[in-house]
Amino acid sequence: MKKILIPVDFSETSKNAARYGVKLAASVPGTSVILYNMYKKIIPGSDGTPLSDADLSRQIILKNAMNNLKNDLEVISDVPIDYVAEEGGTLVDNVVKYVKNQGIDWIVMGITGSTRLEQVLFGSNALEMVHSGVCPVIIVPPKAEFEKIENILLASDFKNVEATTPVAQIKKLLDFFKPKFHIVNIDHEHYVELTDEYKAERAKLEDMFKDYNPEFSFIRLFDFLEAISIFSEDKNIDLIITVPRSHNFLTRLFRTSNTKSLAYHSHIPLAAILS
């Protein structure tokens, strides 16, 4: 059975990601969901309440909240849902340990923040989770609603693709959903015709994914985000695969203050897979 882990803090963003993750699980037969919450240890005497009483009260409240969320999610899907709450220092460290111990296949988590400061504060956990490399992460924007995944986009820079493309993980995702597969490159430096290097890298990608009949697109635009946004709308893209490396697609997404940023302002989730 496949396992999806969804970190929740009971914010609307995380609850929306939970709704998305449960519906996603329902679309892949044999998939279960685990809701995950991490709480910080209470320092004795910090609030004038005995540690045992305060900790017990908090655990009761947390258990009720997790159970209520589980019940709400069971209304929209019949996939198996469990939940766990753990004490710890940082969310990312705790989740990494849990994923390794429990054999989690995917993490689904929300991200929020419309201003640069909010992106730093609220987007950091999602980004750190991606860069932990513990397993693929699907990042769900605040406005995302699950739609059947029929069109998947892989954004590639067409550079050293043999060494930098996580072929097995991408194929696993494609096998899950059996979508139409688009491989897209945006590069404003090709002015008249494609370079021999580009053609060679494309041929390698075509061979890697020959069983999935990829459709290749090259977009010559200066504004990377605008290009992805236009293409995604035109092709009804349901999920964007990114392979985070320095100066690549995901990095640019989360550094930009552009209001067209897909991660913060669109409905399209991102599947981040480290090479």
Has residue 121 got a pLDDT over 70? no
Has residue 259 got a pLDDT over 70? no
Full set of structural domains in the chain with CATH = 2-140 (3.40.50.620), 151-272 (3.40.50.620)
- What type of residue sits at position 46? S
CA-nearest of 86, 88, 75, 89 to 35 is 86
Q: Determine the pLDDT at residue 261.
A: 46
Q: In whole angstroms, what is the distance from residue 199 CA to residue 272 CA?
A: 25
Threshold 0.85, pTM exceeds: no
Q: In whole angstroms, what is the distance from residue 215 CA to residue 209 CA?
A: 10
Burial class (CB in 10 A: 0-12, 13-18, 19+), 207: exposed
pLDDT tens sequence across 160-201 = 999 989 999 899 889 988 999 999 987 766 555 677 888 899
